[in-house]
């Protein structure tokens, strides 16, 4: 029996996290409107939603426009809160990871207070609401729970179709009208997977010297499942 072939993403087209590459849709409209606002209540905002909903992309959009420091919850245990706060704008991805470290929680608590004193802005993204992070520092939990929370819904078919179409266009790949519905009926419901899938299809089409088709997509998806 032939061993399943591993698929590799080409490295020449990294995922774009710019404002121009973000596809707006009803499932992310409220969150997008919030990060476009210059001010938030008490200067802090928490974005929540499942993996692949676009939270990380939104953090990068805001950080680029606001000139913010960008970090993640797992790194806060080694971070210098005063250095981060000196930029007045801080974005933290995977913010729930601070719950795994008492040092990280203390660092975030100190950062929160420094930014509040400077009338700065703090943007956090996580899969779950603050109440579900398991924070052991009550003062930090109460301050973050007081922040404005906006939840991103999982991407719907309209958004996924638009993203797939754009990803193929970015790679100058022409596909049939039937391919997008074929992929939507079988793919994981996330923007991150959409990027991975298009990259895999591109790589496999080049390797086989064939166009991207439904038959090729079926093979790629089967190989992906077998290689897990």
If asked whether residues 135 and 41 sit together in one domain, one would say: yes
User: For residue 163, which phi and psi values (nearest 5 degrees)?
Assistant: -65, -45
Domain that holds residue 110: 29-151
Tell which residue, 140, 43, 128, has the closest CA to residue 90.
43
Tell which residue, 147, 150, 151, 189, has the closest CA to residue 52.
189
- Does 18 map to a domain? no
If asked whether residues 134 and 79 sit together in one domain, one would say: yes
If asked whether residues 49 and 113 sit together in one domain, one would say: yes
Domains: count for the chain? 2
- Does 5 map to a domain? no
- Does 22 map to a domain? no
- Does 21 map to a domain? no
If asked whether residues 112 and 165 sit together in one domain, one would say: no
Q: What is the pLDDT of residue 11?
A: 38
For 166, counting Cβ atoms within 10 Å of its Cβ (0-12 exposed, 13-18 middle, 19+ buried), the class is: middle
pTM of this structure: 0.77
The tens place of each residue's pLDDT in the chain, 228 residues long, gives: 333 344 444 434 445 677 666 778 888 889 999 998 888 999 999 999 988 788 998 999 999 999 999 999 999 999 999 999 999 999 999 999 999 999 999 999 999 999 999 999 999 999 999 999 999 999 999 999 999 999 998 888 988 998 899 889 889 999 998 999 999 999 988 888 888 899 999 999 999 999 999 999 999 998 876 665
């Amino acid at each position: 029996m032939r061993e399943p072939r591993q698929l590799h993403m080409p490295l020449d087209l990294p995922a774009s996290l710019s404002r121009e590459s973000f596809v707006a849709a009803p499932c992310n409209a409220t969150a997008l409107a919030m990060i476009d606002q210059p001010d938030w209540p008490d200067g802090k905002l928490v974005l929540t939603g499942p993996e692949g909903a676009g939270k990380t992309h939104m953090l990068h959009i805001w950080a680029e426009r606001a000139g913010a420091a960008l970090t993640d919850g797992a790194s806060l245990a080694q971070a210098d809160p005063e250095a981060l706060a000196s930029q007045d704008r801080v974005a933290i991805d995977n913010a729930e990871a601070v719950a795994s470290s008492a040092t990280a929680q203390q660092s975030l608590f100190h950062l929160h207070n420094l930014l509040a004193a400077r009338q700065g802005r703090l943007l956090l993204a996580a899969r779950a609401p603050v109440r579900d992070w398991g924070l052991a520092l009550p003062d930090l939990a109460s301050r973050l729970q007081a922040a404005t929370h906006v939840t991103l819904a999982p991407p719907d078919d309209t958004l996924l179709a638009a993203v797939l179409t754009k990803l193929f266009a970015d790679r100058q790949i022409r596909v049939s009208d039937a391919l997008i519905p074929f992929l939507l009926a079988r793919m994981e419901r996330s923007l991150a997977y959409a990027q991975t899938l298009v990259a895999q299809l591109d790589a496999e089409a080049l390797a086989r010297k064939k166009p991207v088709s439904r038959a090729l997509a079926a093979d790629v998806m089967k190989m992906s499942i077998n290689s897990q």
